[in-house]
Structures are given as structure tokens and as C-alpha cells.
């Protein structure tokens, strides 16, 4: 292809590419994926992998999202209005978790850590920063690791294929061997 030339991918090709990326990222397994409550994740040593293709995990995640997350992030993952504008006291409103937000810009493990610890504690513990302000509280005392993974899997399951592919590439860039 000559420099400056652009190419166009038709929807059929995009679907094929999405399927290939899915197989490369997740592999093919003969065993059914475990229910979310069967997953035991140690945040300090494990790489978190979401399961947006596992209907049981996604169903659990949808229920937990409705109970624990929708009050801030919206019943339809839409977030709060003006979520990009800083609040007077610092921090931001709850962002959307649909394709219009930035959730998919972060790898699975980071999403898990932020959800578990909360934005401020995550910034202090993982990033060694104390200047971050946020109303995003952690769920380490109210949700199990499996429930957090299920919620994040549910969120990812709602994204259009091209966003899922982009998110898979984010994960692959952070953990090339997985």
C-alpha cells in the first residue's frame, strides 16, 4: 500500500476480523467457562481477564451492575451529563461505560483494580499518587472479586464489535503473552 492511501473495511470483513481477534485473545476451550463465583482472583498476582462471551457471567454482571453501579453510571451505562467537566471540588462526574466513554481505553486488570479499590485508593496504592480526587468508591468490602469481574464483563458485552476489538488490543499491549 502506498503512503497516504487509506483502506476501507466492509462490515463483513470487520466481523471476520473481530472473530479472529476473539479466537486469538480468548482461545478455544472445550470446557465451559466457570461461573463468576467460581473465579478466585488475587489482584496482586493475577492478570484479570473479562468474560463478555460467557452468558452466565454477563447475566450475573447485569444484575450486580443494576444493584451497585447504575445509580451513578446510569441504567444504560450512559454516565452522568457533563462527565468530562471537572467538578468544583476536583474530580469528575461518573463517566459512561458504553462506547462513548473511556472505560474501553483501560486494560481489564486496571478496570478491576479501580472498581475494587476505588479511584483514590487505586491512585495511591498502584500509581503512588495522592493528588487524585474522585467520588468513585471501591467495592472491595461489598462485592466479591468474581462479582466485579462479572460487572466488567457485562459492561464489555454491551460494546459494539469494533470497540471490543480495540479493548482487546489494549489488553494485548499490556500483557502480550495473554
pLDDT of 50-80, one tens digit each? 999 999 999 999 999 999 999 999 999 999 9
Higher pLDDT, 40 or 135: 135
* pLDDT tops 70 at residue 10: no
pLDDT-based confidence at 45, cuts 50/70/90? low
pLDDT tens-digit profile of 99-152?
Answer: 999 999 999 999 999 999 998 998 888 888 888 888 899 999 999 999 999 999
Do the beta carbons of residue 155 and residue 65 sit within 8 Å? yes
Q: How confident is the model at residue 91 (pLDDT cuts 50, 70, 90)?
A: confident
pLDDT recorded at residue 175: 85
Question: Counting Cβ atoms within 10 Å, is residue 11 exposed (0-12), middle (13-18) or buried (19+)?
Answer: exposed
Mean pLDDT score of the chain, rounded to an integer?
A: 80
pLDDT of 146 reads 97
Higher pLDDT, 149 or 41: 149
User: What percentage of the chain reaches a pLDDT higher than 70?
Assistant: 74
Residue 21 pLDDT grade (very low, low, confident, very high; cuts 50, 70, 90): very low
Q: How far is CA 150 from CA 38, 108, 162, in A?
A: 11, 12, 21
Give the Cβ contact number of residue 177 at 10 Å: 5
Task: Cell 462526574: give the residue.
Answer: 93
Mean pLDDT to the nearest integer, 31-57: 64
Hey, what's the cell of 171? Answer: 489488553
Q: Which is more confidently placed, 109 or 38?
A: 109
Give the residue-averaged pLDDT of 87-100.
Answer: 91
Amino acid at each position: 500500500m502506498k503512503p497516504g492511501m487509506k483502506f476501507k473495511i466492509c462490515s463483513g470483513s470487520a466481523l471476520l476480523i473481530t472473530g479472529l481477534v476473539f479466537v486469538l485473545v480468548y482461545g478455544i476451550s472445550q470446557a465451559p467457562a466457570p461461573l463468576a463465583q467460581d473465579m478466585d482472583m488475587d489482584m496482586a498476582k493475577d492478570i484479570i481477564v473479562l468474560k463478555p462471551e460467557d452468558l452466565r457471567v454477563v447475566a450475573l454482571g447485569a444484575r450486580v451492575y443494576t444493584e451497585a453501579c447504575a445509580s451513578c453510571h446510569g441504567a444504560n451505562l450512559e454516565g452522568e451529563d457533563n462527565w468530562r467537566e471537572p467538578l468544583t471540588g476536583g474530580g469528575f462526574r461518573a463517566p459512561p461505560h458504553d462506547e462513548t466513554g473511556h472505560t474501553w481505553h483501560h486494560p481489564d486488570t486496571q478496570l478491576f483494580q479501580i472498581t475494587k479499590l476505588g479511584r483514590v485508593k487505586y491512585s495511591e496504592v498502584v500509581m503512588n499518587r495522592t493528588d487524585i480526587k474522585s467520588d468513585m468508591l471501591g467495592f472491595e468490602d461489598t462485592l466479591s472479586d468474581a462479582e466485579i469481574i462479572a460487572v466488567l464483563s457485562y459492561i464489555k458485552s454491551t460494546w459494539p464489535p469494533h470497540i471490543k476489538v480495540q479493548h482487546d488490543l489494549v489488553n494485548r499491549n499490556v500483557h502480550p503473552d495473554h
